[in-house]
Amino acid sequence: MIEPAIQQKIDAWLSGNYDNATKSEINNLLERNEHEALADAFYKDLEFGTGGLRGIMGAGSNRMNRYTLGMATQGLCNYLKQNFPGERVKVAIAHDCRNNSDVFARIAADIFSANDIEAYLFEALRPTPELSFAIRHLGCQSGVVVTASHNPKEYNGYKVYWNDGAQVTAPHDKNIIAEVNKITSIDEVKWEAKSGNIHMLGQEMDEAYIAKVQNLSISQDAIKNQHDLKIVFSSIHGTGITLVPEVLKRFGFTNVHVVEEQATPDGNFPTVVYPNPEEKEAMTLALNKAKEIDADLVMATDPDSDRVGIAVRNLEGEFELLNGNQTGALLMNYLLLAWQKAGKLTGKEFIVKTIVTTDLIKDIADSYNVKMYETLTGFKYIAEKIRELEGKETYIGGGEESYGYMIGDFVRDKDAISACALIAEMAAVAKDRGQSLFEMMVEIYTRHGFYKEELVSFTKKGQRGAEEIQQMMADMRANPPQTIAGSKVVEVSDFKHSTRKNLLTGEESRLDLESSNVLQYLTEDGSKISARPSGTEPKIKFYISVNEPLASKDEFDAVNKQLSQKIEQILVDLKLR
């Protein structure tokens, strides 16, 4: 049986001004008695969260479709008109390769234009970081990109940006949500486009963005010496193909091999299960190509090109995927060393990482006497920190463990295009010194300690899954562990309640961060365990970080094994294995 409240919503869609295809999809589910699917599609409205919308595509109030997107866009229009009275409001719009992304982007542009807002729409798919750049370049008050990032193919989404090119943060995020929630009917949406308010963006914007990326280059001599560095690149059917090969060429790399099987944009992602460079399976074709041509470096970007995964040859000469913490530590070390050599470190520079990203980055920053700030998970918080310090301190770079990096501040979101360019340059510098990137990483470990991290996540789909995740977090708050892997828990940070408690002294302190549903345990031996429900997927994530000193490269394997065993014990103790 379908619950009465859900049936009421279904009836409203079947009798409302929805198109015939939408009504047919709902009727087909009713005829097949697919009550669970209907319940999931209608048990709530697709939440317009602090970053926008993300959900499975299809008919229903809890699905990503033209109507949920349209109502969200109308709410955003209303907020923009309130916030910028008397101004001619401008909005930039981009989309990725996903099914319906181009259609959704055009619908959004139509609604903005119908509300007398100037809509600057990219003529074809483009990377998310270029959208962030375009907002600032054009002087827009806002921007949206239609993407579900690295989610499975069934998903799509809609991310909202503010006038600094960053995803919206307080107070605008909550205020936009309030306006979106006021739109209770599709009949309140202005659907009819005013074509004179829609302007197309293309190559001119590409060139302006690429010029900024080129200015990030630090080591042109190393690139000249190693211009034929063998690079394999895959866009995993996404937007990376539009800019990454061209940017690498402009940097001076002459030996870039694109994975052709994944070069054509395709929202069905036919060669992968998940279009996510964090997944080894998604990197398989690129790794095969790398072995075939004896490559130096493998890089792959996600569908909207804000994340990049890499593989390099390890100490045994075999290709090994680096995790986001390792790549981030390499990049921050490379940037800080370059700034130091150039005499640009004045004491007013800073880098940023998120609370679940490796503390190795802090150790690296400390060694250069550069400030490191920590934010909640999400690049909008890194961008917020840049905005807060603008004119007072200089941002160098930042990153998070989930394969996102931002170098320089002309983009205010994670940027896999510029990251690919700097990673390739860093690999050229390493090769110029007779090293691999892996050896460069081991060198960092010998200076600062061998940090090893692992991410374990559990997918819990639908209404029941969301309830299970909340219960898991409640149980961990109510019953925190006293020891983990034989080491005493000495500190518990609850970011939801903004408290940090020292369990040895009983002392409590306030966390100077916005509330977020994250729990973090710190043990006596320096291990850190964080639990966090994902904000974009039906998952709960556990981040494990352990560390030990590394005296020399010769001890790498032994210490690596020791740390792996410690991680395994932590997972067993927390009943995650």
Residues in the chain, total:
577
pLDDT cut 90: percent of the chain above it: 93
Same domain, 484 and 435: no
- Residue 104 has a pLDDT of 98
CATH of the domain at 88: 3.40.120.10
Percentages helix, strand, coil for the chain, rounded to the nearest 5?
40, 20, 35
Mean pLDDT, rounded, for 107-112: 98
Among 395, 413, 448, residue at a domain's last position: 448
Give 31-44 pLDDT, tens digit per residue: 999 999 999 999 99
Residues with Cβ < 8 Å from 373, sequence gap 6 or more?
A: 350, 351, 352, 353, 385
Same domain, 84 and 163: yes
The rounded distance, in Å, linking the Cα atoms of 32 and 351 is 55
Above 90 in pLDDT, residue 1?
no
Give 442-485 pLDDT, tens digit per residue: 999 999 999 999 999 998 887 788 889 999 999 999 989 999 99
Nearest to 212 by CA among 489, 28, 408, 377: 408
- Residue 353 has a pLDDT of 98
Same domain, 15 and 151: no
Same domain, 298 and 444: yes
Asked if 129 and 415 touch (Cβ cutoff 8 Å), the reply is yes
* Domain, as residue range, for 248: 209-448
Among 184, 201, 218, residue at a domain's last position: 201
Q: How many domains does the chain have?
A: 4
Same domain, 559 and 530: yes
Mean pLDDT, rounded, for 124-152: 96
Same domain, 35 and 67: no
Q: Which residues form the catalytic set? A: 149
* Residue whose entry in the numeric block shows the structure tokens 């997972």: 571
Above 90 in pLDDT, residue 534?
no
- Residue 231 has a pLDDT of 98
Mean pLDDT of the chain: 96
Same domain, 372 and 472: no
Among 415, 448, 481, residue at a domain's last position: 448
Which helix (DSSP H) or strand (DSSP E) does residue 352 occupy? strand 349-354
The DSSP annotation for 136-173 comes to HHHT-SEEEEE--TTS-TTEEEEEEEETTSSBP-TTHH
Q: What is the pTM of this model?
A: 0.95
Phi and psi at 493, nearest 5°, equal -110, 125
Phi and psi at 532, nearest 5°, equal -155, 120
Per the structure block, which two tokens stand in for 489?
A: 């828990």
Give 577's pLDDT tier (boundaries 50, 70, 90). Answer: confident
The rounded distance, in Å, linking the Cα atoms of 155 and 152 is 6
Same domain, 485 and 423: no
Same domain, 433 and 456: no
Give 249-258 pLDDT, tens digit per residue: 999 999 999 9
The rounded distance, in Å, linking the Cα atoms of 137 and 393 is 22
Total Cβ atoms within 10 A of residue 484: 24
Same domain, 329 and 185: no
- Residue 92 has a pLDDT of 98
